[in-house]
Amino acid sequence: MATYNLTITNLDESIQKNDMLLIDFWASWCGPCRMFGPIFEKASDKHANIAFAKCDTQSSPDVAAKFGVSSIPTLAIFREGILLYCQPGAMPEKGLEDLIQQALALDMNEIRAKANEEVKA
């Protein structure tokens, strides 16, 4: 699956309609972002069952603000509407693949149960 542009208009729908969503927060002037971009694109080609979105922090600062993005590139991962990961920093291809596999391996029933416990506390 190719990447698509994430904006405030399609943010909620993207999170809710995709079983798994990776978001690359980037800007054209950012050197590490330009290095990570092709790695992110390659992963999107490899994982057709996962949604890959790119959020240009210059044109969609409102989306970046919702996530508290203050450093780019930042990668966010949602699974079943739950934010699992949101960290700054470019990573190598193997690192991104490992992170994807870890997110896919999670028991989401267990994650939801822990989230419910935290809300009750």
Sequential pLDDT tens for the chain (121 residues) = 589 999 999 999 999 999 999 999 999 999 999 999 999 999 999 999 999 999 999 999 999 999 999 999 999 999 999 999 999 999 999 999 999 999 999 999 999 888 878 767 6
Q: Is 86 a catalytic residue?
A: no
pTM of the model: 0.93
Q: Reply yes or no on whether 30 is catalytic.
A: yes
Domain ranges of the chain: 4-120
Measured CA to CA, the distance from residue 6 to residue 20 in angstroms comes to: 14
Residue range 4-120 in CATH 3.40.30.10: yes
Catalytic residue among 33, 75, 90, 99: 33
**4 bridge partner residues:** 53
Catalytic-role residue among 6, 30, 77, 96: 30
CB contact set of 54 (below 8 Å; sequence gap of 6+): 3, 4, 5, 6, 23, 24, 26, 37, 40
